Amino acid sequence: MADIIQLLPDHVANQIAAGEVVQRPASVVKELLENAIDADSNLIKLIVKDAGKTLIQVIDNGKGMSTTDARLSFERHATSKIRSAEDLFSLNTKGFRGEALASIAAIAHVELKTKQEQEELGTQIVIEGSEVKSQEVVVTPKGTSIAVKHLFFNIPARRNFLKSNNVELRHIIDEFHRVALAHPDIAFIMFHNGSESFNLPKGKYRQRIVNIFGGKTNEKLVPVEEETEVLKISGFVGKPEFARKTKNEQFFFVNNRFIKSAYLNHAINAAFEGLMKDNSYPSYFLNLTVDPKTIDINIHPTKTEIKFDDEHTLYAILRSSVKHSLGQFNIAPVLDFDRDRNLDTPYDFEGKRVSNPTIDVDRSFNPFQEEKSSNKSGSFSTSYRKEPTAHWESLYVGLESKGTKTTQEFSEVQFESEPQNQSLFNEKSAIESKHRTYQLHNKYIISTIKSGMLILDQHRAHQRVLYEGLLKHTTIQEAVSQQLLFPLALQFSTSEMELLEQLKEDLEHTGFVFSKFANNSLEITGVPVNVPESEVSIILEQLISDVEQEVPDSNFSATDLLAKSLSKSLAIKTGQSLTSTEQEYLLNSLFACKEPSVSPTNKTTFITMSVDDFDKKFM
Ligand code: ADP
Ligand code: MG
Higher pLDDT, 560 or 148: 148
What is the distance in A from the centroid of ligand 1 to the CA of 73? Answer: 6
- Cα separations in angstroms, 527 against 279, 373, 389, 543, 562: 27, 14, 27, 15, 15
pLDDT score recorded for residue 399? 39
Q: What's the pLDDT at 149?
A: 97
Task: Tell whether ligand 1 has an atom less than 6 A from the beta carbon of residue 78.
Answer: yes
Predicted pLDDT of residue 73: 92
CB of 31 closer than 6 A to ligand 1?
yes
pLDDT of residue 113: 98
Q: How confident is the model at residue 475 (pLDDT cuts 50, 70, 90)?
A: low
Mean pLDDT lowest among 61-65, 118-122, 291-295, 522-526: 291-295
Q: What are phi and psi of 272, to 5 degrees?
A: -90, 0
Residue 28 Cβ < 6 Å to ligand 1: no
198 pLDDT tier (thresholds 50, 70, 90): very high
Per-residue pLDDT band at 200 (split at 50, 70, 90): very high
pLDDT at 380 over 80: no
Ligand nearest to the CA of 117: 1
Q: Is the CB of 62 under 6 A from ligand 1?
A: yes
Mean pLDDT of 274-294: 87
Residue closest by Cα to atom 14 of ligand 1: 79
Distance 66 CA to ligand 1 centre (A): 12
Distance from the CA of 291 to the center of ligand 1, in angstroms?
Answer: 24
Choose among 600, 533, 541: nearest CA to 571.
600
CA distance 202 to 287: 17
Closest CA to 263 of 277, 252, 276: 252
What percent of the chain lies above the pLDDT cut of 70?
Answer: 76
- Tell me what pLDDT residue 133 has: 96
- Closest-lying ligand 1 atom to the alpha carbon of residue 62: 24
Q: Check pocket membership of 95 for ligand 1, CB cut-off 6 A.
A: yes
Is residue 561 helix, strand or coil? helix
Q: Whose CA is nearest to atom 12 of ligand 1?
A: 73
DSSP characters for 192-243? ETTEEEEEE-S--HHHHHHHHH-GGGGGGEEEEEEE-SS-EEEEEEE-GGG-
Quote the ligand 2 centre to 489 CA distance (angstroms): 43
pLDDT-derived band at 386, boundaries 50, 70, 90:
very low
Burial of residue 521 (CB within 10 Å: 0-12, 13-18, 19+) is: middle
- Of 224, 281, 273, nearest in space to 253 by CA: 224
- Evaluate if residue 440 carries a pLDDT over 60: yes
81 CA → ligand 2 middle, Å = 9
* CA of 58, closest atom in ligand 1: 23
| 66 Cβ below 6 A of ligand 1 | no
Is 538 or 377 the better-scoring residue by pLDDT?
Answer: 538
CB 104 near ligand 1, within 6 Å: no
**Ligand nearest the Cα atom of residue 17:** 1
Please give the average per-residue pLDDT across 55-78, as a whole number. Answer: 92
pLDDT at 83: 58
Q: Closest ligand 1 atom, CA of 101?
A: 6
Measure 499 CA to ligand 2 centroid, in angstroms. Answer: 31
pLDDT of residue 119: 95
Average pLDDT, stretch 445-452? 86
Which position has the higher pLDDT, 318 or 346? 318
Q: pLDDT at residue 282 above 80? A: yes
Question: Could you tell me if the CB of 303 is within 6 A of ligand 1?
Answer: no
% residues pLDDT > 90 (the chain)? 35
pLDDT above 70: residue 384: no
Q: Is the pLDDT of residue 408 over 50?
A: no
Q: Is 540 in the pocket of ligand 1 (CB under 6 A)?
A: no
Distance of CA 244 to the CA centre of its chain: 10
As a whole number, mean pLDDT of residues 167-182 equals 94
- List the residue whose alpha carbon is closest to atom 7 of ligand 1: 100
pLDDT confidence bin for 164, thresholds 50/70/90? confident
Amino acid at 278: D
* pLDDT per residue as tens digits for the range 205-254: 999 999 999 888 888 899 999 999 889 999 999 998 888 877 889 999 99
Ligand 1 touching residue 36 (CB < 6 A) = yes
37 ligand 1 Cβ < 6 A: no
| pLDDT of res. 457 | 94
pLDDT for 581 equals: 87
Looking at the CA of residue 146, tell me the nearest atom of ligand 1: 23
Distances (CA, A) of 121 to 114, 143, 493: 9, 11, 41
pLDDT of residue 44: 98
Helix, coil or strand: residue 60:
strand
Distance CA 577, CA 358 (A): 9
Q: Which atom of ligand 1 is nearest to the CA of 60?
A: 23
Q: Is the pLDDT of residue 509 over 90?
A: no
487, containing H or E segment: strand 481-491
pLDDT tens digits along 20-39: 778 899 999 999 999 999 99
Q: Is 101 in the pocket of ligand 1 (CB under 6 A)?
A: yes
**Per-residue pLDDT for 375 more than 80?**
no
Which ligand 1 atom lies nearest to the CA of residue 78?
A: 10
In whole numbers, what is the pLDDT of the chain averaged over residues?
78
> pLDDT: is 6 or 313 the higher one?
313
